């Protein structure tokens, strides 16, 4: 019989619990911007490249079905924060590009998100936070070697 493990030692539980705590704090911090974590994430991705980001790539990065991205982009577009254009490399797909207003709101929202994160991570050495980020990135975005 396997030795039982305390729930507080279960890494999956801890990741889920901390993720939920941070998600709630970030959503609360974003209220004045009219964004939530998902729409904020799409806006941040749209700001990463001046020409825009591939809508399917946004879905893959966020781990969502492309149909879920459509509603998020619709909301951002209605607010004048992003525009959609045809992807010149694949006309069946769209690029999402941030407007100047979208970049301004992203800056404000990012400051709010950073402050929310700070409440959880202050007091933890930068080297530990950076190691945690690197580890989570390697899990969330694995590099497949053939």
Pick the closest to residue 39 from 109, 92, 131, 108 (CA basis): 109
pLDDT number for residue 136:
92
The helix (run of H) or strand (run of E) holding residue 20 is: helix 11-30
Q: Region 104-129: what's the mean pLDDT?
A: 96
Q: What is the pLDDT of residues 1-51, one digit of tens each?
A: 566 789 989 999 999 999 999 999 999 999 999 999 999 999 999 999 999
pLDDT number for residue 145:
44
pLDDT number for residue 89:
86
Pick the closest to residue 87 from 51, 43, 126 (CA basis): 51
Sheet holding 90-98, edge to edge: 53-54, 90-98, 82-87
Going from the C-alpha of 99 to that of each of 75, 81, 85, 103, 125, the distances in angstroms are: 14, 5, 12, 6, 36
Contact predicate 54/95, CB 8 Å: yes
pLDDT number for residue 87:
87
Pick the closest to residue 106 from 7, 3, 34 (CA basis): 34
Q: What is the pLDDT of residues 53-110, one digit of tens each?
A: 999 899 999 999 999 999 999 999 999 999 999 988 888 888 999 999 999 999 999 9
pLDDT number for residue 142:
84
Q: What is the reported pTM?
A: 0.89
Tokens standing for residue 87: 């992807």
């Amino acid at each position: 019989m396997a030795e039982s493990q305390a729930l507080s030692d279960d890494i999956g539980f801890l990741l889920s619990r901390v993720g939920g705590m941070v998600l709630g704090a970030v959503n609360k911090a974003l209220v004045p911007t009219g964004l939530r974590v998902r729409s904020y994430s799409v806006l941040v991705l749209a700001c990463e490249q001046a020409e825009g980001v591939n809508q399917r790539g946004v879905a893959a990065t966020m781990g969502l079905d492309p149909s879920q991205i459509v509603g998020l982009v619709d909301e951002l577009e209605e607010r004048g924060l992003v525009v959609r254009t045809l992807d010149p490399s694949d006309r069946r797909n769209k690029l999402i590009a941030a407007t100047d207003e979208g970049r301004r709101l992203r800056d404000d929202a990012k400051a709010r998100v950073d402050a929310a994160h700070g409440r959880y991570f202050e007091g933890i050495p930068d080297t530990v936070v950076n190691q945690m980020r690197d580890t989570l990135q390697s899990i969330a975005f694995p590099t497949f070697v053939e």
